[in-house]
Amino acid sequence: MTTGAISEAERHQLLPLHRIAPSHAWVPLRLAELWEYRELLYFLIWREVRVRYKQTALGVAWAVIQPVMTMLVFSIFFGRLGGLPSDGLPYPVFTYSALIPWQLFAFALTESSNSVVANQRLITKVYFPRLIMPLSGVCVGLVDFVVAFGVLVLLLMWYHIAPSAAILTLPLWTLLAVGSAFAVGLWLSALNVRFRDVRYTLPFITQLWLCATPVAYSGRIVPPFWRPLYASNPMVGVVAGFRWALLGQTRPAMTTLAVSTAAMLVILVSGLYYFRRTERTFADIV
Amino acid sequence: MQHVIRVNGLGKRYQMGAREAYGTLRDTITRSVHNVLGRGAARSASAESQWMWALRDVSFEVGDGEILGIIGRNGSGKSTLLKILSRITEPTTGYAEVRGRVGSLLEVGTGFHPELTGRENVFVNGAILGMRRCEIERRFDEIVAFAEVEAYIDTAVKHYSSGMQMRLAFAVAAHLQPNILLVDEVLAVGDIEFQRRCLGKMKDVSREGRTVILVSHQMGQIRRLCQTGLWLDRGRVRHVGDVGATISQYESAILSGDDDGAGQCFSQWELAEGGHVVRAGDRPVTFRVRVTLAEPVVAGHYGVGLLDEQDAVVAGWAFEPVALPVGTHTLDVRIPMLPIRPGTYRVSFALFNRGSNLTGGRLIEKWVATPSLTLDLPPLGHPQDEWSGLLNVPATLSGLPSGDRVRTDSHPASVPAVPRVAASS
């Protein structure tokens, strides 16, 4: 031991004391504990990233193929054949700039919702703050996002679109997308432990959610009266923010951004409490 | 001595069958509809009786630097206690106070990923067990040397033999340096020599002033390592105190049938050849198990089975009639060879009195034994998994125009990336 100068009794008193007892209905969030376990979070993310494209022929190219293919399909069917308005922008850029935050959201949501059940071995054998599971699920999605973002830069150059100073707000919208995925993922991952129905509803939820998000179409086709309600889908704010930051459009209505952010925060805080409240039974029923 | 663990009135209640029947949404909805309509009364009464206390009123204290051994039959709550102390699950009643960092070792190799290399897995696994990154880096060479896998450390773990995987996983765990270490039965893996080194490592741990709680079925191990013993019987503490006294009380209780009588006859198994690892597919293998009987067995039936990871029976043997007097016996089942594919298998022992399960005999106990049996052999079959099958026997090809004879076990191409384990000296 390295504690030569202090006595045994003092060393003993220095050690942290944990009290293990039944918890009551509402438990503190203990977010500081997450910081203590940041290295575990890092290694879990790193493990997923390392393993993700092992034994695939195309490797990390998949991060680009998926949004690019979707962009092509949307451009042909909605842009060319359907003739949907795209706010005066080339339709491929218009939809791709929304597709990359969407893919980030959808992937992060799926990963985090399945994270607790997928890691049941860990949950029943080791202690760590359970919040790390959905959190690492969300962070893995950021890697694909960065790769897919590279293609967007190429598209912008091809169409000679120069982003305005608004591009500086991009991290905010990325954070809003990640936060939304984490928020909903908290609810779903905790529910998934008890109700495996979540696994089957998830693809369906993401599909419906895509329709409620202005990825293939412009948010302007929604009547102004309904827009605040529409913006309670946080992804509406994310897409509006992305298009503003990247494509040099006029600034979206403040109400849209505010409502989306508020909606995300409501789901996030309630999700955190719900997760913490149910996590004590995870190891028993997972 | 200062106390680092103080447990007071700890209890844990489980709902019977809750594990298998994780509710679907529909069940919950139907149940709540029933409750609302007032039809749930009869059901909830029966639901109440489905609770089971895995631990009840457990209180004890562990001093700084002490090694406590927990003994008791299967299902007596030993693992539940460790899970509560390592904060994996919450108690239902009572509390425990724990001073210092707790490292728990309830399983070896938690979080190992087959696609990652040995090096990568050491870091991930170490982080999962609660080691800091710098700590792992500092002890990395030591860990690899302890596991004796230096040559393959940058090979994906899926190419390791099961013995190598286990050694690497254990080496990481053995280098954990928490103030309190909780160990569940894991020491029993690996070959004798490796076990000995692990035990040595554990002794070092306590000499450095760290506290260890150890669960084991192997009384010899408990006696050698621990100063204090705690005997759990159906979730309650039967005895705490000097390790020798606890073990002898436990053993005499089993003998006199005081330990609630039903079953508890198998207590410890190993290969008569040593350990729980088979290293040659063409040598005799002897399953040795300790049987403690509180009743005489007359015209009984003794069965030994070998189960694979999917719980399918790979092989099974039955012996009848068997007659055994009251007392402790060592039964050996010897088979001339075990030519099955390398991997981990579980051994199941069953003893019936007055007949078999077919002829109306009464089951004394069936024990799916821990630890598992490991077959650490070079694979002799087809190199592709889906063609290698269940048996692991060499074959010879002749009739080649060149007049060569090709054997599967001498043909390097048939043993591709799987490195052979160096014999431990």
d(CA A117, CA A119): 5
- DSSP 3-state assignment of B355? coil
- DSSP 3-state assignment of B301? strand
Q: What percent of chain A has pLDDT over 90?
A: 49
Q: Which of B88, B95, B138, B159 is the best residue to mutate to test the A interface, defined by the most A CB atoms within 10 Å of its own CB? A: B88
**A38-53 average pLDDT score:** 88
How many inter-chain contacts (A to B, CB under 8 Å) are there?
132
Q: What is the pLDDT of residues A119-144, one digit of tens each?
A: 888 898 888 999 999 999 999 888 88
Residue B305's pLDDT is 92
d(CA B213, CA B103): 10
The total of other beta-carbon atoms located within 10 Å of residue A146's CB is 11
Nearest to B166 by CA among B307, B392, B374, B418: B374
Contact in structure between B317 and B264 (CB atoms under 8 Å): no
CB contact under 8 A, B113 and A47: yes
> Which of chain B's residues have a Cβ under 8 Å away from the Cβ of A197?
24-25
> Which of chain A's residues have a Cβ under 8 Å away from the Cβ of B128?
40, 43, 122, 126, 128
CB contact under 8 A, A122 and B94: no
User: For residue A73, what are the contacts with CB-CB under 8 A and spacing of at least 6?
Assistant: none
Q: What is the pLDDT of residues A208-228, one digit of tens each?
A: 999 999 999 988 888 988 988
CB contact under 8 A, B128 and A43: yes
User: Which ipTM was obtained for this model?
Assistant: 0.82
Say whether pLDDT at A27 is over 80: no
Q: Which of B93, B104, B110 sits opposite A22 (nearest CB)?
A: B93
Q: Running DSSP on this structure, what letter comes out for residue B66?
A: -
pTM of the complete model: 0.72
Q: Which residue of A has its CA nearest to B84?
A: A20
Q: Which residue of B has its CA nearest to A119?
A: B111
Alpha helices in A119-169 (DSSP H): 120-125, 132-158
Query: Is the backbone of residue B57 left (phi > 0), alpha (psi -120 to 50) or beta?
Result: left
Q: Which residue of A has its CA nearest to B87?
A: A127
**Positions in chain B short of pLDDT 50:** 18-22, 39-48, 260-263, 411-425
B252: tokens are 């005499």
d(CA B424, CA B176): 23
Q: At CB < 8 A and 24+ separation, what contacts does A22-27 make?
A: A22/B90, A22/B91, A22/B92, A22/B93, A22/B95, A23/A280, A23/B90, A25/A277, A26/A273, A26/A277, A27/A276, A27/A277, A27/A280
Q: Amino acid letter at B105?
A: L
Could you give phi then psi for residue A261, rounded to 5 degrees?
-65, -40
The angle at the Cα of A223, spanning A217 to A226, to the nearest 5 degrees, equals 105
Burial label for B396, CB within 10 Å (0-12, 13-18, 19+), is: exposed
CB contact under 8 A, A15 and B100: yes
For residue B164, CA distances in Å to A51, A190, B198, B345 come to 21, 36, 15, 16
Contact in structure between B227 and B67 (CB atoms under 8 Å): yes
User: For residue B124, what are the contacts with CB-CB under 8 A and spacing of at least 6?
Assistant: A43, A44, A46, A47, B111, B112, B113, B116
Burial label for A260, CB within 10 Å (0-12, 13-18, 19+), is: buried
CB contact under 8 A, A127 and B86: yes
CB contact under 8 A, B4 and A50: no
Nearest-Cα distance to chain A for B60, in Å, is 14
Number of H helices, E strands in chain A: 13, 1
Residue B255's pLDDT is 64
Selected residue with higher pLDDT from A102 and A66: A102
Element (H, E) at B331: strand B327-335
Nearest-Cα distance to chain A for B173, in Å, is 12
CB contact under 8 A, B88 and A126: yes
Residue B19's pLDDT is 42
CA neighbours closer than 13 Å in the CB half-sphere of residue B217: 23
A49 close to B (CB below 8 A): no
User: For residue A24, what are the contacts with CB-CB under 8 A and spacing of at least 6?
Assistant: none
Residue B424's pLDDT is 37
Residue A1's pLDDT is 43
d(CA B298, CA B326): 11
Name the pLDDT band for A178 (thresholds 50, 70, 90): very high
Residue B378's pLDDT is 82
Residue A53's pLDDT is 80
Judged by CB atoms within 8 Å, which residues 86-125 of A form the interface with B? 121-125
Residue A183's pLDDT is 97
Contact in structure between A34 and A42 (CB atoms under 8 Å): no
A97: tokens are 């700039």
A20 close to B (CB below 8 A): yes
Nearest-Cα distance to chain B for A142, in Å, is 20
Name the pLDDT band for A11 (thresholds 50, 70, 90): low
**A151-168 average pLDDT score:** 88
> Which of chain B's residues have a Cβ under 8 Å away from the Cβ of A127?
86-88, 102, 104
Nearest-Cα distance to chain A for B347, in Å, is 22
Q: Amino acid letter at A85?
A: P
Q: Which of B25, B89, B110 sits opposite A195 (nearest CB)?
A: B25
d(CA A77, CA A95): 12
Nearest to A206 by CA among A103, A84, A67: A103
> Which of chain B's residues have a Cβ under 8 Å away from the Cβ of A15?
4, 99-101, 179
